[in-house]
């Protein structure tokens, strides 16, 4: 009976589907997530409308439940078009129906909270999105356990929101916990682990933790190169992140006056450390490989 009511609700939603886009519905899960932005300046932040939020909201092996997939795709479609006056009510109506049929503490409710949070995030309503994600995190931890991929996904989304609000110290431990879960569930050399490392590097860079940033980027680069190949776009993207890191370090050094000797020494160490990497690149396990200049 519950499934029948839900199917009836989803059929009602079809009235909102633009006719010319019906043929694209089957492929929405392969499009770039309009909400997969990590922090401003990343390539993903500029590409709206090319992949499902299952990448951002459900990373690491967790997928949108089948009974929510149609609604999820519609919400993403309207949000990517800036039609929040349709996307937000759809989410809220579905959330209300789910709570009535399954109770608030149900994993599907957490999924809908997560989706609505990402819509709010796209509208820069970070406070509302943060509250929803914290609620979703509580539900997922209670119902799925603390090491489920869905928990890692929610932790990552919370870290992104805190980062967008400039709360980098609050975001960092959330990102680290998400990384630990993904390493345990997926293995230490999985591409999703590399993506989480990139997120963590960005958070640390905003805190001036340049040595840690370089280490996270180097590890992410190693994963992408060994698992996806040297021609994968993520390899070039991570190399660009390292270049931007070097530019940030040089800018910081230019702004520092002679009284900031301690900071200058730290930056000088980092720069010499990075140059050494060009000839003896450190790979996981502490070993060095001479002549590897691909990093």
Is pTM beyond 0.75 here? no
Query: Which parts of 145-260 fold into alpha helices (H)?
Result: 149-164, 168-186, 191-205, 210-228, 233-255
Which helix (H) or strand (E) is 288 found in, with range?
strand 288-290
Which helix (H) or strand (E) is 280 found in, with range?
strand 280-282
Q: What is the C-alpha separation between 68 and 219, in angstroms, rounded?
A: 36
Backbone angles phi, psi at 32, to 5 degrees: -70, 130
Length of the chain: 295
116-152 residue pLDDT tens: 998 999 899 999 999 999 999 999 999 999 999 999 9
The distance of Cα 127 from the centroid of its chain, to the nearest Å, equals 18
Q: CA of 95: how far to CAs of 9, 12, 91, 132, in Å? A: 12, 15, 6, 12
32-81 residue pLDDT tens: 333 334 443 222 332 233 344 444 344 344 566 777 778 888 888 888 89
Q: CA of 287: how far to CAs of 147, 223, 226, 242, 283, in Å? A: 30, 15, 16, 20, 6
Q: Is 289 left (phi over 0), alpha (psi -120 to 50) or beta?
A: beta
């Amino acid at each position: 009976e519950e499934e029948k009511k839900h199917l009836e609700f989803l059929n009602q939603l079809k009235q909102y589907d633009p006719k010319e886009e019906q043929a694209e519905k089957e492929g929405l899960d392969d499009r770039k997530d309009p909400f997969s932005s990590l922090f401003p300046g990343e390539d993903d932040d500029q590409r709206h409308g090319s992949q499902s939020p299952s990448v951002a909201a459900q990373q690491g092996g967790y997928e949108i439940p089948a009974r929510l997939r149609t609604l999820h795709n519609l919400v993403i479609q309207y949000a990517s078009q800036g039609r929040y006056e349709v996307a937000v009510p759809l989410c809220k109506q579905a959330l209300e129906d789910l709570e009535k049929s399954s109770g608030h503490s149900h994993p599907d409710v957490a999924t809908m909270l997560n989706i609505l949070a990402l819509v709010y995030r796209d509208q820069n309503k970070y406070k509302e999105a943060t509250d929803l994600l914290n609620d979703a995190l509580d539900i997922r931890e209670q119902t799925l356990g603390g090491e489920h991929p869905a928990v890692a996904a929610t932790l990552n989304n919370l870290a992104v929101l805190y980062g967008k609000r400039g709360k980098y110290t609050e975001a960092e431990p959330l990102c680290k916990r998400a990384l630990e879960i993904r390493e345990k569930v997926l293995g230490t050399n999985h591409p999703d682990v590399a993506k989480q490392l990139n997120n963590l590097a960005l958070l640390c860079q905003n805190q001036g933790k340049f040595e840690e940033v370089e280490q996270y980027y180097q590890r992410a680069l190693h994963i992408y190169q060994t698992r996806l190949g040297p021609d994968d776009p993520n390899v070039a993207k991570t190399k660009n992140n390292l270049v931007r890191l070097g530019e940030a370090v040089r800018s910081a050094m230019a702004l520092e006056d002679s009284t900031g000797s301690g900071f200058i020494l730290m930056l000088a160490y980092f720069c010499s450390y990075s140059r050494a990497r060009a000839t003896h690149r450190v790979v996981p396990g502490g070993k060095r490989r001479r002549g590897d200049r691909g990093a």
